[in-house]
Amino acid sequence: MKQIPYSFDLNQPDFIPSTYDNHIKRHLSAMKGQYLDQQAFDAMMNDDPLLYEVYELQRPTVEGELLHGISIVHPGKVGNEFNMTKGHFHEVLDTGEIYYCLKGHGYMVMETPEGEWAVEVLYPGRVLYVLPRWAHRSVNISLQEDLITFFVYPGDAGHDYGTIEQQGFRKLIIDKDGEPAIVDNPRWGVSETA
């Protein structure tokens, strides 16, 4: 664990700093119940492709620290839904998160426990502030290149993946005749893991 301030480069093309010591890989099998097209999902499970990766530096998970890392969502679709992250609320719900887009083209799909939803676009140079209370999921709407973002969140925020695993997001991002479209999730709120 570093005891003095540290700096590192985010360089093209992959933007992965060698400083980072935690590498998380999420394959399709981690996304059970999240994609609408179950047949397409099952057909792809033989290969269990890598959908996204996260690089982080391990720091104390306490208030006052800022956890930061790189998220890489690879291009692709499951059925007509674009590749995406699991998405999560923060365990400490009243904590926000800042994203800075480094590469690619994406949507951030967000919602609150109270039923509000929002979708914001991501492309290089764009900053997004996910307000406290908002669950968030990155979606890569390019079929050619990675969506790469740098993120910062409070050290004590934690991750609540379970709520989204159970109920999904209210909105899905699908490829509609070559354009990304925001549509209602017909299975929202239905237990996905039952």
Size of the site for a copy of itself (CB under 8 A): 46
**Are the CB atoms for 57 and 123 separated by under 8 Å?**
no
Contact status: 128 vs a copy of itself (CB under 8 A): yes
Q: What are phi and psi of 121, to 5 degrees?
A: -90, 145
- Please give, one letter per residue, the 3-state secondary structure of 38-78: HHHHHHHCCCCCEEEEEEECCCCCCCCCEEEEEEEECCCEE
| The total number of residues written for the chain in this structure | 194
Contact status: 122 vs a copy of itself (CB under 8 A): yes
Contact status: 158 vs a copy of itself (CB under 8 A): no
Candidates 21-29, 71-79, 97-105, 173-181; binding stretch for a copy of itself (CB under 8 A): 97-105
Contact flags string 10-49 toward a copy of itself, x per CB under 8 A: xx-----x--------------------------------
The pair of three-digit structure tokens given for residue 145, joined into one six-digit string: 């290149």
CA distances (Å), 107 to each of 90, 120, 122, in order? 19, 6, 6
The nearest distance, CB 167 to a copy of itself, in angstroms, is 19
- Contacts with a copy of itself by CB under 8 A lie at 2-11, 17, 57, 63-66, 68, 92, 94-98, 100, 108, 110, 116, 118, 120-122, 125-132, 134, 136, 150, 152-154, 157
